[in-house]
Amino acid sequence: MLEHVTGRWGSLVLAALEDGPIRFNDLRRRVDGVSQKVLAQTLQALERDGFVCRNQRTVFPLWVEYTLTPSGKDVSAKLLDLITYVEASMDTVLAARQRYDSPAPAENGARARE
């Protein structure tokens, strides 16, 4: 169940829902890269868990909009906090990766723990 919210798509969908009600295809465009199949699955899982609310219009023109439930908002806020932090750390992370990927550093006086 944690994976529903922390997983790749779950977190992006919850984040995208932050800005209010949104319809399926708009959401799909917003969450760039998600296929409609996966988006449907993700939304169903989140709805089942009570984090998003599905609101269907049954007369023409018909559409479905999704919103966050109260607990969905809580989760989404915490998620966004995390995502924002991680995005802000991008540069640092990329630098860390280069250090990690580059050839072994020269030996100076410092040693690993003994």
Partner DNA sequence: CAGCATCCTTATCGATACTG
Partner DNA sequence: CAGTATCGATAAGGATGCTG
| Sheet containing 52-57: order of strands | 22-23, 63-68, 52-57
Structure-block tokens of residue 14: 């919850």
How deeply is 19 buried, as exposed, middle or buried, from its count of CB atoms within 10 A (0-12, 13-18, 19+)? exposed
Per CB under 7 A, 40 contacts DNA: yes
Rounded Cα distance, 22 and 40, in Å: 14
Q: Binding to its own copies by residue 32, rule CB under 8 A?
A: no
Q: Which residues pair with 89 in a beta bridge?
A: none
For the CB of residue 66, give the shortest distance to its own copies in the complex, in Å.
13
92 binds its own copies (CB under 8 A): yes
* Of positions 6, 44, 71, 84, contacts DNA by CB under 7 A: 44
56 interacts with its own copies by CB under 8 A:
yes
Q: What are the residues binding its own copies (CB under 8 A)? A: 1-3, 5-8, 11, 47-50, 55-59, 71, 74-75, 78-79, 81-83, 85-87, 89-90, 92-93, 95-97, 100-101, 112-114
